[in-house]
Amino acid sequence: MTDQQHSSYKSGFIAIAGKPNVGKSTLTNVLLGQPIAGVSAKPQTTRKRQLAIRTTDEYQMIFVDTPGLHHPKDKLSQFINSEAIFALRDADLILFLVDGSQKPNEEDRKLAELVHEAKKEDSVLLVINKIDLVDGRTLSAHRELYQALFPKAPLAQISAQTGKGILELINTLSELLPEGPQYFPEEQITQTYERDIAAELIRAACMDLLEEELPYSIAVRTDEYSERENGVVYIKATIFVERDAQKAIVIGRNGEMIKRIGTLARAEIEAMNGKKVFLDLYVKTRKNWKNDPAFLREVGFAAKSI
Ligand SMILES: Nc1nc2c(ncn2[C@@H]2O[C@H](COP(=O)(O)OP(=O)(O)OP(=O)(O)O)[C@@H](O)[C@H]2O)c(=O)[nH]1
Ligand SMILES: [Mg+2]
């Protein structure tokens, strides 16, 4: 890098904020070009802040995928909300993501209020996602309602699923980024270890395949993550549930369900690390783990800053 380039280098933390299920983690993966964040069709998939670092000769964008804010019921939920709030507070830019296929609701409004309270309205970019799901007229009606939440914010419209609008979004972000240093080495794409990402991808597979409330009772711990001589990554992981009845469901009749979870998770992990993966999954019951601080630390919910 030349000195001249260096003086105008841009960088910053961009928090991807939004209510549960609007597509924050899908967008994070698209912006990075590979899966590092767990995605599922159910809300409240993401529990921890995760960085996705995109570095070029001109800029370094550090995206922070956040959990969608929701009503706290236990120690785990308190942790999840604080993760989102810290990310908002520390960000240079807030990418406020909404679901363009629906009108704004109370959750969108509450979150927008939090952003206003944090006096961050000048650093917000409003991004309307899921435009592949609606026709033009509905979209423009919804857009107006969302713009009322942030009247001064620049706007982008995307589909994180099809990739539409993503290049334009990146261009807009690069214009909004402040000048700054390259915080992370250029080959670093996240702050999380592959073994922790693997646990998140396994949990997201559980969330996608299991019905009703059960996914919210799940925690995943990677017990072993090692590369064998033949280049295959061996991963041993334990899926924790809250009750024995849930354990039976996760395993399924003749082990059918755990097999499906393993197949889906393995494909995602292989896309993440670019290697062949052997995945060895176990299921255990751990009563009331959501309120057990020692266990929460064990599965990575330590109150640490990024
Ligand atoms: N049709 C369509 N679906 C999308 C799009 N973006 C995301 N989705 C889907 O929306 C669902 C939720 O996506 P996530 O990325 O997990 O959402 P999130 O905002 O991270 O959710 P939480 O982590 O629970 O807060 C998944 O089923 C995605 O496949 C999009 O542009 N179009
Ligand atoms: Mg998410």
Q: pLDDT tens, 133-154?
A: 999 999 999 999 999 999 999 9
Q: What is the fold of 3-176?
A: Rossmann fold (3.40.50)
From CA 16, how far away is CA 46, in angstroms rounded? 12
Of all protein residues, whose CA lies closest to atom 7 belonging to ligand 1? 23
Of all protein residues, whose CA lies closest to atom 27 belonging to ligand 1? 41
Provide CATH code, domain 194-298. Answer: 3.30.300.20
Q: What is the mean pLDDT of residues 129-136?
A: 98
What is the rounded average pLDDT for all residues in the chain? 90
For tokens 């996705």, name the residue.
52
Q: What is the mean pLDDT of residues 245-265?
A: 96
Compare 280 and 46 and report the one with higher pLDDT: 280
As a dihedral over the C-alpha atoms of residue 254, residue 258, residue 259, residue 260, rounded to 10 degrees, the angle is 120
Complete DSSP assignment for 68-131: PP----SHHHHHHHHHHHHHHHH-SEEEEEEETTS---HHHHHHHHHHHHTT-GGGEEEEEE-G
Numbers of helices and strands, H then E, in the chain? 10, 9
Residues with C-beta less than 6 Å from any ligand 1 atom: 18, 20-26, 39-41, 43-46, 67-68, 129-130, 132-133, 159-161
SS (HEC) of 56-67: CCCEEEEEEECC
Q: Is the pLDDT of residue 102 over 70?
A: yes
Reported confidence tier of residue 7, pLDDT bands at 50, 70, 90 = low
Of 152-156, 247-251, 298-302, the poorest mean pLDDT is in 298-302
Residue 162 alpha carbon, nearest atom of ligand 1? 31
Complete DSSP assignment for 279-296: EEEEEEE-TTGGG-HHHH
Q: Are the beta carbons of 198 and 269 closer than 8 angstroms? A: yes
Please check whether the two domains, 3-176 and 194-298, share a CATH topology: no
Q: What is the mean pLDDT of residues 217-238?
A: 94
Q: What is the mean pLDDT of residues 156-185?
A: 96
Residue 302 confidence (pLDDT): 66
Which tokens belong to 232? 């295959």
Domain ranges of the chain: 3-176, 194-298
Reported confidence tier of residue 306, pLDDT bands at 50, 70, 90 = very low
Q: Is the pLDDT of residue 273 over 70?
A: yes
List CB-based neighbours of ion ligand 2 within 5 Å: 24-25, 45-46
Which pTM was predicted?
Answer: 0.85
Q: Are the beta carbons of 154 and 125 closer than 8 angstroms? A: yes
Contacts by residues 103-106 (CB-CB < 8 Å, ≥ 24 positions apart): 103/142, 103/145, 104/142, 104/145, 104/146, 104/149, 105/19
pLDDT above 90 coverage of the chain, percent: 65
Cα 303 to Cα 5, 83, 165: the distances in Å are: 37, 9, 35
